Chain A
Amino acid sequence: MDSVLDLGYIPIGSYAAFDLGMGFSANWELVGLPDRSKDLPSDGFEGILIFADTYEGARAWIEQLTTLMPQTPVNLLVTEQALPMLMPYFDSEQVTGIVSGLNDAAILEAEFSGGNQTAARWWAYQAGVILLIMVMVIGAIYAGNQHEEEGEE
């Protein structure tokens, strides 16, 4: 990767993605329209990395970019809550790669930096997940008992 282009703040996901995609794929232009894409590289991007905390935000960009710029690899860096709904885009090969959640962060850290930022969070994360499972099991048992008692009454 020779250079990284910061496009600044781009409002409204799907419109912006459509605009970006059309900037490379459209072979027509309206006479006299102010040039919006003058900062974009003339030969397109080597790849696009989408940062997103929600499924909807990432999907809007994936849908537009993979349609209008199918030759450009699209990669995702998303939160774990967005991952399950975005996996089909990876399976269908519309998205080249996904990094999401603590597990992926640990793998990347081990591969590139060798630090221990994720290790500090790992034990707390495991404890939190175990706690959730316990709360769910206790909740299910308690709710079941309560349901039976209401039925008897």
Chain B
Amino acid sequence: MNFQYEIFWIVVSFLLTVMVLSYLLGDNIFFRFSAHLFIGLTSGYVVLLIIKEILLPYLLTPFLGGTWIERLWLGIPILLILLLIVSQIKKFTWIGSLPLAYLAGLAAAVAVGGAVFGTLVPQSRAIVDSFDPTNLDLRGSRSWLTIIDAVVMLVGTIGTLSFFYFGRKKKPETDADRKKRPMIFEGLSKVGQVFIGITLGAVFAGVFSSALLALIDRILVIGQFITNLMGNV
């Protein structure tokens, strides 16, 4: 029984892989079928996951079996959910702004807090630390490499930040000047462009590498399936 079950899923996975790869020959019904199947399965899975892993254990079960004060706390998200549902009716669209404002405010607070204390401050500190003479002494013969590394990092950071500076000249002399940034930012942004280009290149190489490995894995699955099939014949 288990063997047949396993064989069934191997065949399904083989067929779906071939259907997806058939896109190489152009858009066709097999590719579209597999794409729709994937979207449908994902949607269904997410809905079930949310009900089973979030709504039931964190909201409904404690609400039904909790103390009065716990129910009072859980009444807040339930009320917000109800407001969102009611806002789908055209007459009561305005009601949805309350839960949406709450979500947007919370998202901004968590994201900004994380970005500042989890990225901006530690990354800035890392750049400052890389110029720390105490660290250089510890690294001995590699100290010059460390200094060069730190300088490149500093130039890259300042250049990239300058690229995203959208200010204008204080006292423009011509009309063209009105559209230009101050000279120093113009120069630094050119340097920043080089660093951004290198970063995007590295990201592209990573995306390609990941996609290539996924493709290799699928081809290996197909090869293994055919080999097993031929072996059994």
Contacts and interface: CB of A to CB of B under 8 A. Distances in A.
Partners in one complex: yes
Contacts of A17: 114
B209 A80 contact: yes
A128 B215 CA distance: 10
Interface in B75-112: 106-107, 110-111
A47 interface: no
A24 interface: no
B118 A15 contact: no
A17 B114 CA distance: 10
Interface residues of B, number: 43
B208 A132 contact: yes
A121 B206 contact: no
B146 to A, nearest CB: 12
Interface in A82-132: 82-85, 88, 91-94, 101-102, 120-121, 124-125, 128-129, 132
Contacts of A151: none
B114 A124 contact: no
A93 to B, nearest CB: 8
B69 A81 contact: no
Interface in A120-153: 120-121, 124-125, 128-129, 132
Nearest to B111: A14
Given A121-B216, A125-B213, A94 B49 contact: no
B54 A80 contact: no
A18 B58 CA distance: 17
Interface stretch (B3-11, B32-40, B119-127, B167-175): B119-127
Contacts, number: 105
Contacts of A81: 203, 206-207, 209-210
Contacts of A31: 69
A94 B58 contact: no
Given A8-B53, A81-B206, A85-B203, A67 B69 contact: no
Nearest to A53: B210
Interface in B46-65: 49-50, 53-54, 58, 62
B118 A80 contact: no
A19 B141 CA distance: 45
B217 interface: yes
A121 B114 contact: no
A122 B203 CA distance: 21
A68 to B, nearest CB: 9
A92 B122 contact: yes
A102 B126 contact: no
A11 to B, nearest CB: 6
A18 B117 CA distance: 12
A9 B50 CA distance: 9
A82 B206 contact: yes
Contacts of B219: 124
Contacts of B53: 8-9, 11
Interface of B: 49-50, 53-54, 58, 62, 66-67, 69-70, 72-74, 106-107, 110-111, 113-115, 117-119, 122-123, 125-126, 199, 202-203, 205-210, 212-213, 215-217, 219-220
7 contacts: A8-B53, A14-B114, A31-B69, A81-B210, A84-B199, A84-B202, A101-B213
